[in-house]
Amino acid sequence: MNDLHDPPDGRRRRLIQHWGTILWPSFVAAGLASVVFFAFVDPLRLRDITFPGHPITREMGYTLGFFMFWGVTAAASAITWYLSRPLPGDDDDAVPLG
Amino acid sequence: MILRAPRPLRAYLRWRALLPAGLLAGFYLLPWLQWDGHQAVLFDLPARRFDLFGLTLWPHDVGVLAGMLAALAAGLMLLTHLAGRVWCGHACPQTLWSRLFGWLEQACTRLLPHPRLARVARRVLWAGVALWTGLTFVGLFSPIRALTAGLWPPPWSAWETFWILFYAAATWGNVGILRRQVCRDLCPFARMQSVLCDADTPRMHYDARRAEPRGPRVAGLGGIQARGRGLLDAVIARDYAFRAAHAEIAGPMPHFSADRLGDCLDCGACVRACPMALDIRSGPHAACIQCGDCVDACDTQLRAWQFPPGLIGRASDNRVAQRRTRWLRPRTLAVAGVLLILLGLVLNAV
């Protein structure tokens, strides 16, 4: 139907899988974390005890908080992805069996 | 022989087309709804309050909100367990916006003869829809009437502008660029199907006993019923379907005389209609979102050839194999139990 989007297999598909497995679960986790965190913490009161001199509004607080969570969760996802890659030589047949 | 795809009949425009249109309209209208003179659904983040059709939730009510979301998720699981992937095929935002974007793309290609012009028009329309989607989404967090108070310059604060553009970009990226790959590779719900569904859950099936051996033919022969051919044995039918799907390992199909052919015309309408680019005739596939587009495409062709429709349809594996079907299974009770507990907790807390 859509020639434009046809089999995104091979390199493009792998690239999207890699970035998708890092960015997408971390986005969901950051969203949940933001909802729970900001349900209990008012960004304005958080500003007063951290950077009282800065004119941080609630919207800016929410946005900064969400992207901070997303950055941290994405970093965790990225490290998981990095560690779960097959080690070089894991399936390498250079050494004959027996 | 090349078959021209006849256009579906007007009367045939059923809930499969109307439901996605209704849901999209519902989303775009949601922030415009009023309740007691206020916006009916508004997560007012600056004021730290959430209005939901007259019910006001404060930050300490986050448990109620989480309970409502969990109950909705359990309801979705029960629906999927009992009826298959109806959510994926007909109500998931990814499917709805993919349909909308695909439809705009087709309209541009059909109406504008020049390919470059069609591409520009498609991008302009996609950008418009993506922006309006971002605006509508932000309108659930910031009063929409203020967001749409003037045209140029837009009456948006810096943060509103940022989030509108962020969600517009997310919309374009997910449905304009990634589209079916989101369902195949990124969606966690798609991965849960094997846990939720069993042999009694309906899914898309191709009636190989009636359809095989497939093949083009001259018009006027009639379907197998009219010719008195009867249904094939299930194993033979599966073998023909397998050979057709895997010619490289099974070798070429034997040649069948026209009176032995099944009802599949091998016109490819089902494959062309599939948003996931699958061939339903090769057997059920984990990536099938059960949207039913192949059913409509096939039935349209069959009607044009005056064959009875229904070569592709929704049925559970047990029904297809003519085994005993069960409506209530242990998993049904487990999911329904969780749903009832969550509903009880939410109603108790409100």
Residue found under tokens 């091979």:
A10
- Amino acid (1-letter code) at residue B320: V
User: Residue B146's pLDDT is what?
Assistant: 84
Q: What is the domain count for chain A?
A: 1
Give the one of A2, A8, A59 whose C-beta lies nearest to B105's C-beta: A2
Identify whether A60 is part of a domain: yes
Which tens digits make up the pLDDT trace of B40-83? 899 887 788 888 888 888 888 888 888 899 999 999 999 999 99
Residue A91 clears pLDDT 90, i.e. is over it: no
d(CA B185, CA B79): 23
Residue B41 DSSP SS3? strand
Which tens digits make up the pLDDT trace of A11-29? 888 888 888 889 988 999 9
Residue A9 clears pLDDT 80, i.e. is over it: no
Which value does ipTM take for this structure? Answer: 0.73
Determine the Cα angle at B161 with ends A72 and B33, to 5°: 105
Give the contacts of A42 (CB within 8 A, at least 6 positions apart). A58, B48, B59
Q: Which residues of A touch B178 (CB under 8 A)?
A: 16, 20
Q: Dihedrals φ, ψ of B57, to 5°?
A: -110, 140
Longest dimension (CA), chain B: 75
CA distance B163 to chain A (A): 9
Residues of chain B with pLDDT under 50: 1-6, 9-11
Cβ contact, residue pair A35, B102, below 8 Å: no
Domain limits at A60?
A: 39-84
User: Which chain A residue's Cα is nearest to B57?
Assistant: A39
Residue B202, token pair as written in the block? 């309906």
Q: What is the residue-averaged pLDDT of chain A?
A: 81
